Amino acid sequence: MARSIPDVEEATVCEVNRGLVHVRRGDAQALQDVQNSIQAYLYPTLTIDLKDPTDLLVDTVPILSYWGATKEAPAAKSLPAPGGPPSETSPKDTPSSSHAATSQTGSPSQEGVQNSTQPKLALQQLQTLVLTLVARARSALGPLISGPPPTLLETGPLRDLSWHSAKQRLAVIGPFDRILLYDLEARGEAAATPGVLAHEFQKGAAMVRWRPKAAGGLAVACRTGVCFWTLTPPVHICPLSPSPAVRGSPSVRHRKPLQATMVFFQSPSGAPFTAVEWSPDGRLLAASSSLDSSIMVYDVATGAGAPLRRGLGGEALLRWAPSGDYFFSAKMNGNFHLWETTRWTSEPWASQSGRVVAAAWSPDSRALLLAFENSTTLGAIHLTGKVPSLDAHLIPLELPEVEALASRACPNPGIEHMAWDAGGDRLAVSYRGGDEQTGGLVAVYDTRRTPVVAASFIGLIRGPKADSRPLSLSFFNRFARGSLLAVAWSSSQISVYPLLYKGR
């Protein structure tokens, strides 16, 4: 174990066949030598500068459609089962639940509005203005209604990140509720320069998820609802343009506002949405709040929504199985439910180790890994019946290496974050606890799934700075030579680690 702990002056760069590679910080030659020896691209560390917040500001993007809460939501039994290709178009407007605004973004111009009469245009402008004023009022009154929002010191400057399902593109919740989009396939300066999505309705952004099987769609859980963005065109997320040279300074390149449209789904209860999850086909979007016991499931093509309710307590975590046949939800009080999506029935479970802080499905949707806030032991739920059976067994998965590291100088160690790659080959876990040498690390495991889930310790990842702590973990689903892990760090940096264990 002692040999696997990287020195505090080192930073991890990659894995090569079950061995993690670390180099001295600032040693460019050592980094180049590693890249030459493995014949693979080493991704640069992405750094977000918090000193100049105006660098992140762009023009407010007007919404395309607004879906408000209906007085009578459809029953849960009316939810459709996942299936069919996702729609690439925005939801169709209906007179009772949607207000069209503009389809042009980057500036609040009305040139993209498609209206047949001037009075209709004036009405839509008024509606957009009213909705924006409501959003600002709710933002200002938020501390009086539901307590003060989390500060950057409480949540970290980077709150969540998500990989695109097909391209090496990262969506990150950055400071000031901006969604930063990085195209890592661009390489060089373009890869390190994010596109930015911002809107009045995007206050209190808590989670971001790319839409599966769609080129440029993503959902953001926010204080008053869900922002559903569509990039147009989806292939250029961080365009750069040269700016005029200023006397005494070189010409620089800067970001343009992204071309995008946004559909807003208002929270029916008024509670802030804190979690979102897409069905595997990208047709259904589930959203929940840690302050509300209902889960809203939306059909984004029509805007129709239906609530799922089981027991009391806010819903903190949602995970859809890759097959679409099962759905997982976890409450703040430690209880969680396993759902089948054919009839939308569920089976309740209870945790004795605190609430579930992370969950990940196996590629075949037959096993579900759970991490608990007050334990360093994972739980593996193995489904034993055919779909849609909910018969299952919970088997503990010990992680003795994490237990030993987290127990140092911490009387109550536990798991903070967990990610399992889409192939079921690599597991990444961060933990609460540890001392100056062992705190803030990410443990990497080799996993197998038959006959039951098992994990074999590989090593530890240390961040780009000595005091960096992991805030979010996410695996890219399509990396030919193994797995690709992204980690958001408390030092306002994002590291991308190639885990190389497959042939070239």
DSSP type of residue 269: S
Contact 397, 353 (CB under 8 A): no
Residues 358 and 483 in one domain: yes
Q: Is residue 345 part of a domain?
A: no
Residues 53 and 186 in one domain: yes
Residues 38 and 83 in one domain: no
Number of helical (H) and strand (E) elements in the chain, helices listed first: 5, 33
Residues 223 and 159 in one domain: yes
Contact 172, 160 (CB under 8 A): yes
Domain count, the chain: 2
Q: What is the pLDDT of residue 95?
A: 26
Confidence grade of residue 114 (pLDDT, cut at 50, 70, 90):
very low
Kindly report whether the peptide bond that precedes residue 451 is cis, defined as omega within 30 degrees of 0.
yes
Residues 282 and 414 in one domain: no
Residues 257 and 400 in one domain: no
Q: What is the pLDDT of residue 431?
A: 96
Contacts for 38 with CB less than 8 Å, ≥ 6 apart: 14, 16, 21, 500
- Does residue 401 carry a pLDDT above 80? yes
Q: What is the pLDDT of residue 383?
A: 98
Print the domain residue range for 427: 1-42+352-504
Give the phi and the psi of residue 19 in degrees, each rounded to 5.
-130, 125
Q: Is residue 336 part of a domain?
A: no
Q: Please, is 365 exposed, middle or buried when counting C-beta atoms within 10 Å of its C-beta (0-12, 13-18, 19+)?
A: middle
Q: What is the pLDDT of residue 151?
A: 37
DSSP type of residue 1: -
Question: pLDDT per residue over 15-31, tens digit each?
Answer: 999 999 999 999 999 99
Residues 210 and 61 in one domain: yes
For CA atoms 300, 272, 317, 169, the dihedral sign is positive
The C-alpha atoms of residue 99 and residue 93 are separated, in whole angstroms, by 7
pLDDT higher at 288 or 95: 288
What average pLDDT does the segment 357-368 reach? 98
Residues 413 and 467 in one domain: yes
| 195-197 and 207-210 beta bridge pairing | unpaired
| 378-383 and 392-397 beta bridge pairing | antiparallel
Instruction: Out of 293, 309, 325, pick the residue that ends a domain.
Output: 309
Residues 21 and 88 in one domain: no
The C-alpha atoms of residue 83 and residue 342 are separated, in whole angstroms, by 11
Residues 31 and 105 in one domain: no
User: What is the total residue count of the chain?
Assistant: 504
The C-alpha atoms of residue 293 and residue 278 are separated, in whole angstroms, by 19
Kindly report whether the peptide bond that precedes residue 108 is cis, defined as omega within 30 degrees of 0.
no
Give the phi and the psi of residue 60 in degrees, each rounded to 5.
-60, 130
- Does residue 10 carry a pLDDT above 50? yes
Q: What is the pLDDT of residue 219?
A: 98
Question: pLDDT per residue over 58-110, tens digit each?
Answer: 444 555 566 764 433 334 445 666 654 444 433 333 322 333 232 223 322 32
From 97, 456, 17, select the one nearest 264 (Cα to Cα). 97
What is the pTM (predicted TM-score) of this model?
A: 0.82
Residues 26 and 52 in one domain: no
- Does residue 156 carry a pLDDT above 80? no
Residues 227 and 282 in one domain: yes
DSSP 199-262: -GGGTT--EEEEPTT-SSEEEEE-SSEEEEEEESSTT-SS-EEEPPPPTTS---EEEPPP-EEE
Q: Nearest 10 degrees: CA dihedral of 368, 364, 88, 108?
A: 30
Q: Is residue 330 part of a domain?
A: no
- Does residue 444 carry a pLDDT above 60? yes
